Each structure stands twice: as C-alpha cells, then as structure tokens.
Amino acid sequence: MIFMIILKIGGSILTNKDAPESEVDSVSLKRIASEIKRSLDNSSKELVIVHGAGSFGHPPAKKYRIGEAFDREEYPQKRLGFCEIQNAVKRLNMLICEEFISQGLPVIAVPASSFITASSKRITEGNLDIFKNYLSKGFVPVIYGDVVLDSDLEFCVISGDQIIQYLASNLNPQKVVLGTDVDGVYNKNPKTHDDAVFYEKFSSIEDLDALEGTTNVDVTGGMVGKIKELLYLADLGIESKIINAEIEDNIYKVLENDDVKGTVISRS
C-alpha cells in the first residue's frame, strides 16, 4: 500500500498576512519546496498539498464581505468581488506552483472554485476522483483556500483548513499534517503571551479553556477554526498534527515520519 499524506502549508508561512501588499515569502517557499522534494526523492508516497490564501485572499474577502447576506441589487458587485478573490488566490497558487515545478515537483493545481460547492459555508459537493487519478500517475495535486458557490449565500470563502477536513474525510490518508508559524496549539496565543502553555495533544475544544478557567478571548479565528476542523477528523478516527513549518527541516522530517514537535489532534 502506498502511504498517502495530506500536507497543509499555512498562509502564514507563505505570505505576510499583515502586509497590505500581496507578497510571497520566497525564502520560506523555496525552503519548503526543497524539503518536500527531498522527501519525495527519498521514499515514495502519495502527497496532496493544501495551502492557505494568506495575504492574497484575506483582504479582498474582507473588502467584499463574501459569505455575508446581501441585497439583490448588490449581486453584480459581489460577483465581481468573487472573481477578484478567485484571481488573487490563483495568483498565489501560481507563484507557489512555479517554485515547486522549478524544483522538480510534479504539482498540478486543482482549484476548489472549479469543482466544489457549499451550503452555509460548508462544503457539500466536490468529486475527488480527479485527485485519485492524478495521484495514481505520480502527480502532487495542490488545492488552496478559495471562493466557491454556496446554495444558501450565493458565494462563500472556504479555508484551507476546511479543505483539509474534506479531503481527509474522503481520501482517508495515513497522515494529515498542518504546517503553521507556531509549534502547535497552546492554551492562548503564544505570539502575544509568553506564558502560553503548549499542548502535546488536543482532544476537545474545551481543552483550550481548561487551563485558563475562562473563555479564552485570545484564541482567535485561525487556530480555533483549524482545531474544529481537525476535531471533526479526529471523530472519524483520523489523527492530525500541527507543526511549525518555519523551523528548517520540520516538513522534511514529518514527511519522513521522524519525530517533530507539534500538537496531535486525536480523540483517543
């Protein structure tokens, strides 16, 4: 049996989410591409890559308030906003794929906006046969946070984290890894709290509050969203791990099954 890995590379690693301009962190991108290449050369495996939208997707998605209810007369403007976002995240994907291909990785982009649909911001449909076909021929499919049609809201944004959950639930990989810019999950944001406590393992959303004793206001969007998706996978018996992809060789090691610091999300 060939080992299948679904690897997410966070938008936080590849772009500067706080920057007004859409720029790729080319140093990180080159390093991550080379770590993946080294691992694929070392041992055969099926790999699916998911990346976030980072600074390319977040500002236009916010500007056009995609995913919020709107009046009929706003429809043309929302639709154009949808196109703008789709194009922005595609540009990021193109830059990523360009680097990967130049390093000899056989990546093929499979944009979510071209085959996935949602209902109330949750993916409801998306035939993954094309992933299986590409994987069977040795390609590395790449998918990313994107806009998709929504049967309730017309349009919505789906995060790379939701895509991870959808792919893993349907493709049953042996391994699910999320590379981000912190070592894993803490009881509060480690970037703003020196006393944040690290979790080796995370089994329920209540774990976040357990150490604090109160609702943790610092646990914002990104990490909570991620954990919810991964706990859903954990319920299906699929374990995942969040690791720090900013640390050199972490991606290589995790792909090679070597020990890497990180938070395992599992119910057991």
Residue closest to 39 by CA, chosen among 253, 261, 260, 262: 253
Q: Given candidates 222, 230, 234, 244, which one binds ligand ADP under the rule CB under 6 A?
A: 222
> Would you tell me how many other CB atoms lie within 10 Å of the CB of residue 62?
11
Compare residues 82 and 186 and give the one whose CB is closer to ligand ADP.
186
Q: Which residues have a Cβ under 8 Å from the Cβ of 268 and sit 6 or more positions away?
A: 203
Separation CA 264–CA 106 (nearest Å) = 29
Size of the site for ligand ADP (CB under 6 A): 19
Cβ-based nearer residue to ligand ADP, 192 or 268 = 192
Q: How far is CA 79 from CA 47, 74, 84, 267, in A?
A: 33, 9, 9, 40
How many other CB atoms are found less than 10 A from the CB of residue 41?
Answer: 9
Residue number with CB closer to ligand ADP (141 or 184): 184
Q: Please, which of residues 223-262 interact with ligand ADP by CB under 6 A?
A: 223
Q: Does the protein bind ligand ADP through residue 220 (CB under 6 A)?
A: yes
Among positions 3-32, residues that touch ligand ADP (CB under 6 A) are 10-13
Which residue's beta carbon is nearest to the bound ligand ADP? 10
CB-wise, 53 or 255, nearer to ligand ADP?
53
Whole-number Å distance between alpha carbons of 104 and 72: 47
CB of 72 to ligand ADP, least distance (A): 33
**What are the C-alpha distances in Å from 258 to residues 59, 120, 187?**
37, 39, 26
- Which span (42-50, 96-104, 107-115, 215-223) binds ligand ADP, by CB under 6 A? 215-223
Closest CB to ligand ADP among residues 56, 139:
56
Residue 187 burial (10 A CB sphere; 0-12, 13-18, 19+)? buried
The pattern of x and - marking residues 52 through 81 that bind ligand ADP according to CB under 6 A reads: x-----------------------------
Q: Which helix (H) or strand (E) holds 209?
A: helix 207-210
Which backbone phi and psi does 238 adopt, to 5 degrees?
A: -100, 115
Among residues 56, 186, 202, 252, the one that binds ligand ADP under rule CB under 6 A? 186
Q: Which residues bind ligand ADP (CB under 6 A)?
A: 10-13, 52, 180-182, 185-186, 188-191, 218-220, 222-223
